[in-house]
Amino acid sequence: MRILIAGVALLAAVNAAASVPHPFGIHDLVMLDRVSDPQISPDGKRVAYQVRETDYENNKGKNGIWAIELGNPKAQALRLTDVAANATAPRWSADGSAIYYQDKGQIWRLPAGGKGAALQATNLALDINAYKFSADGRQVLLSLDIDPQCGKENDPIACTKKRDDDKGKSKASGRVYDKLFVRHWDTWADGHRSQLFVAMVGTDGKIGAPKLLTRDIDGDVPSKPFGGDDEFAFSVDGKSVYFSVRIAGNSEPWSTNFDIYSAPADASAAPKNLTAANLAWDTAPVPSADGKTLYYLAMKRPTFEADRFAIMAMDLASGATREIDPQWDRSAGGLKLSADGKTLFATADDNGEHPLFAVDIASGKATKLAGQGSVHDYSVRSNEIVFARTTLKTPADLFRVATSGSKVTELTNQNSTKMAFVDTGAFEPFTFKGANGDSVQGYVVKPVGFDKSKKYPVAFLIHGGPQGAFGNDWSYRWNPQTYAGQGFAVVMVNFHGSTGYGQAFTDAISGDWGGGPLEDLQKGWAAALEKYTFLDGSRACALGASYGGYMVYWIAGKWNQPWKCLVDHDGVFDNRMMGYSTEELWFSEWENKGTPWDAPANYEKFNPVNYVKDWRVPMLVIHSEKDFRIPLGQGLAAFTALQRRGIPSELLTFPDENHWVLKPQNSVLWHDTVNAWIKKWTAPNGSK
């Protein structure tokens, strides 16, 4: 057994790498600043945003709030919050005189000019999950986790705190459950629910005592584990609140039936379900300025989490709905409304990119405003949009574009100094005929220091989801530049099931995990080898996570001839057991067209565990102990199979990580272990 430690030595390596020209590597990746959540000021003259820096020694990220002037090409970004704060989620006061943010579980208020101390605006007994102000700034919605048994109390916050404290005094650690979820993503259920409260904001900027708005709602607002403040909103006049929630009951783990509710902002009446007729996912409410229409996103097929999100409009007087964009074969996200009320803005995967679109409400026509790369968070104010964008060569920075779609202008260059010392690999998309004769897209990234006269070993990356895609985007977990910097060429194929190529293409993978997608990967590999003569097909390793990890296990038994080695991260090894042990059951049941007991043949049809007898390729297995989406037993079983069969193999596991590896030093250890493994087996005279 080898116990690997990332610590002082790695910190020294990080610091040394920062100032010497070199190929891009993992030490560079973990130390980059991460720009997100831009918010344009009410007067349109500034934008506040969040920056995550890396505290490598303490093995965590540290967030701060920054701001930059708009309209001044020489403007310099300034940090507003103290370096000791871990400040997130900047939001302007209605008059633009202050910026609110979250830190230590509470909301703080900082003078907009950055001069003067931050004042604590809330002092609640429980931590705040998310918040949103009304348009006039006089009210604020707060999400807090409370004990449902406290929901009818006059002060559910104090009641929850007391019950939690009382439980903490007990020396017994056992928990009794009578329904699922018992655990979700990386957390065991404690019986609490994220509930929405409303509070008044005083003239001094302090936030008053909250009132429970979602009383008797058995669900989480926002949704867990990744929901945010886009799942709730005030009406423009501040009299109503709209929120999306899935009523839990006993069906939560196999239901995707989120509905949008309305409630009076003064909490004087119970919430009302507005979308009960649709048994699939309704979310992201955006009220119109005149209060007559509610825009939102909706899926059509219950229990399918990767269905297309259509943009809907509801007449609030009659309840009548219409789909705004029925001809646009893309799944919308990040919905926002223009100042004149005629356009909705949205992002969507689109042919290997993730652009920002303007969707005309009257016609449903979608027009690209910013097409290159991947647009993430964005803010709309008057006739201007500020957004965060990444590419395969660049981490996130802020850009601006007029709502009419004029020239895109860069606002920040947050990582200019750090990126000035690194070289990255050039990339390009390619297409080929895949399964069913369909056109399939992939990407190739050239190694750093590329020489067209040479051949290079290959890292063949397989994406997860499976309803996801590799694209012109920057990742902090599966970034092809970390392999390009190690001297590898990188090939990535967006097989059937990938997003951004139409809903029918996305749907094709369900019930066919090891069929058409494998054919796409095989044909994509052949097409890449034919087109790019610098690829050394005799020195290649395949790597994947989640569904990509499933595919690594699958090809270990069904397509192992090309590969010198394999790397599996948190993959599905036994599909039947996955159907019993994962927490979000709707996923496994949709993908296999039934439960394991009603449709056992479907679970066995493409089950990697049935082909272990054909495994032969050396494999590195990585699986984390807090991964409840694909539990640890899957990786342990695969490693056991490898060891028992005498196949060269290693196991890397993290006791403190979930489905993703997030801590900086763990990320370095992950990459160093993976890089050592693939170099070992692809070396010209390496291991056999």
Among residues 498, 627, 667, 671, the one annotated as catalytic is 627
384/379 Cα distance (integer angstroms): 8
Among residues 546, 588, 624, 649, the one annotated as catalytic is 546
CB 565 within 8 A of CB 541: yes
CB 298 within 8 A of CB 273: no
Cis peptide before 232 (omega within 30 of 0): no
CB-facing half-sphere around the CA of 682: CA atoms within 13 A? 31
Give 111: exposed, middle or buried? Use CB within 10 Å, 0-12, 13-18, 19+: middle
Cβ neighbours, 10 Å, residue 503: 16
**Rounded (5°) CA angle 492-493-498:** 125
Measured torsion, CA atoms of residues 305, 311, 315, 318, in degrees rounded to the nearest 10: -40
328/337 Cα distance (integer angstroms): 18
174/681 Cα distance (integer angstroms): 46
Return all residues near 329 (Cβ < 8 A) that are at least 6 apart: 308, 502, 503
CB 371 within 8 A of CB 363: no
Question: In the annotation, is 546 catalytic?
Answer: yes
215/41 Cα distance (integer angstroms): 33
> At residue 681, what are phi and psi to the nearest 5 degrees?
-90, -15
Return all residues near 443 (Cβ < 8 A) that are at least 6 apart: 352, 392, 427, 428, 429, 430, 470, 471, 472, 480, 490, 491, 492
Question: In the annotation, is 192 catalytic?
Answer: no
Cis peptide before 210 (omega within 30 of 0): no
CA distances 56 to 8, 28, 375, 388, 667, Å, are 10, 12, 27, 24, 11
566/620 Cα distance (integer angstroms): 6
Among residues 463, 496, 659, 671, the one annotated as catalytic is 659
Cis peptide before 225 (omega within 30 of 0): yes
Enumerate the active-site residues: 546, 627, 659
